[in-house]
Structure 1
């Protein structure tokens, strides 16, 4: 397995996403059954949960690079699984510039997120996400909104499918006070974040509006660590996204994130403020 991130800037049409994912899943399933393995036996051999293996075989989840490599080796698939993976395309709903990062997220052991514009995608309720898609400019068609929402809901499974991954979120207070979609949607959004706070591997902190200056004023950022202990960063703007493999830049962003964790409210203080917001909305 290599940590090199492939170039996806070239144009070209993609194969039908649902068909390619399902076809790949059928290939894996056929070789798994040929080896006489159940999903329960196969899953630990490739280092993934049974639900994740099931999702991949059903064509509902993009297979991580590590899964492809391990499945190929475990099932002795003559290169067929690796070959099939080359033709896999993601379901509609993810921006092209985000796809590299999304693949890395699937196997991350640590994932840090700072957001000052909106609730991070992994924390969004479907109602909050739909509001964002409904109000997007230029306007999206109904099919596009449905595809975007399905992709967002699918991605959120990371929080439940990977209980050993360490997640840290720092969110600006004003993001949670903005009445995106109305008071009821925001009340449920805040309540949803409070529910997520109960997970022992997830740390959520709020950057209070009273903090006049902090280390993240340069914009939102994401940092992750792979199973091979390699770090990546991702920075996003309007209609653009940049995957950052440069260790010097990553080091700078790590220092900023560390400072922000000290400048934001503690986890306990953040939970208290969220409870206050839930009652006030």
Structure 2
């Protein structure tokens, strides 16, 4: 089963999950969510009970039912089993579209990203948008002036969460992800203690469940650092062509020049060697969560 990808499909407001989006609304997501809610209530299940059956949190269930999040394939299949195997959700899922609120400068990258077979991200500002919880995405959106109005805020968060469909291991072929995130970003406590604890839980769940996700932490003390010029995003297309994306304050650009891409690939390779190993990064995450 494949989901529809619109031109603006599922991208975050920006590569790192910041502000400045051009909002959009997806009626198909709202309709699908209302249908899930009706079936759940007909079965006499609370959101928490249903969440236990489909192995998603009650907050994720709420986001899907309210049309704020694109359901991934695991959710659709488990929901079918939990709600009577009518086939209705399975048939409806391919028709979902994502009219996401995303910055105009991000759209070209979003098109590349939705079909990429490899995606590499180094981030020194925030947790990457693909890994954010809803609460973290909300906190980031409210941190950066100007403040969005309530409708725009919801559209922006819907866009960011819908983009996370790309992480699914059931995609054919599944995308191979590499993330390198600065330890300082994790210890910033964006949104406060509760938001941070939930965000750590989300990261641990993804790392341990999604075999296509490699996550590394750049330690606080690293005398040799190849990422001093800022975030790096690299993508490999099904045709094995590479693209990169660079973003700053209220702007960004897609990079197709092979020399520039080669330079960024060299920097990213160096960052991988300088960051903690995936195993040590997992251990650090567990210690950070345990300290909260």
The answer to whether TM tops 0.5 is: yes
Given the superposition, is the C-alpha separation of residues 165 and 276 from structure 1 closer, same or farther in structure 2, using an over 3 Å criterion? Answer: same
Secondary structure at 2:156's aligned position in 1? Answer: helix
Given the superposition, is the C-alpha separation of residues 106 and 205 from structure 1 closer, same or farther in structure 2, using an over 3 Å criterion? Answer: same
Residue of 153, 170, 186 corresponding to 1:176: 186
Structure 2 counterparts to residues 225-240 of structure 1, below 5 A: 225-240=236-251
Structure 2 portions without partners, runs of 5+: 1-21, 30-72, 77-89
Q: Tell me which moved more, 129-138 or 147-156.
A: 129-138
* 1:26-54 CA-partner distances (Å, limit 9, x unpaired): xxxxxxxxxxxxxxxxxxxxxxx897995
Structure 1 vs Structure 2 CA RMSD = 2.6
Structure 1 portions without partners, runs of 5+: 1-13, 22-48, 62-89
Secondary structure at 1:144's aligned position in 2? Answer: helix
Distance 2:183 2:113 in 1: 25
Which residue of the partner structure matches residue 206 of structure 2? 196
Moved over 6 A (4+): 49-53
Secondary structure at 2:102's aligned position in 1? Answer: coil
Given the superposition, is the C-alpha separation of residues 149 and 243 from structure 1 closer, same or farther in structure 2, using an over 3 Å criterion? Answer: same
Given the superposition, is the C-alpha separation of residues 258 and 183 from structure 1 closer, same or farther in structure 2, using an over 3 Å criterion? Answer: same
Which residue of the partner structure matches residue 57 of structure 1? 95
Structure 2 counterparts to residues 132-171 of structure 1, below 5 A: 132-160=140-168, 162=171, 164-171=174-181
Residue of 111, 114, 122 corresponding to 2:130: 122
Which residue of the partner structure matches residue 197 of structure 2? 187
Offset, 1:103: 1.2
Distance 1:230 1:222 in 2: 14
Structure 2 counterparts to residues 254-269 of structure 1, below 5 A: 254-269=265-280
Give the conservation status (yes or no) of the 8 Å contact 2:216–2:276: yes
Secondary structure at 1:157's aligned position in 2? Answer: helix
Which residue of the partner structure matches residue 218 of structure 2? 207
Distance 2:27 2:135 in 1: 28
Residue of 87, 92, 115 corresponding to 1:107: 115
Q: Tell me which moved more, 259-268 or 194-203.
A: 194-203
Rg (Cα) greater in structure: 1
Residue of 257, 274, 277 corresponding to 2:285: 274
* 1:95-140 CA-partner distances (Å, limit 9, x unpaired): 1111111111111000000000000000000000001112220111
Give the conservation status (yes or no) of the 8 Å contact 2:25–2:155: no
Secondary structure at 2:115's aligned position in 1? Answer: coil
1:253 aligns with 2:291: no
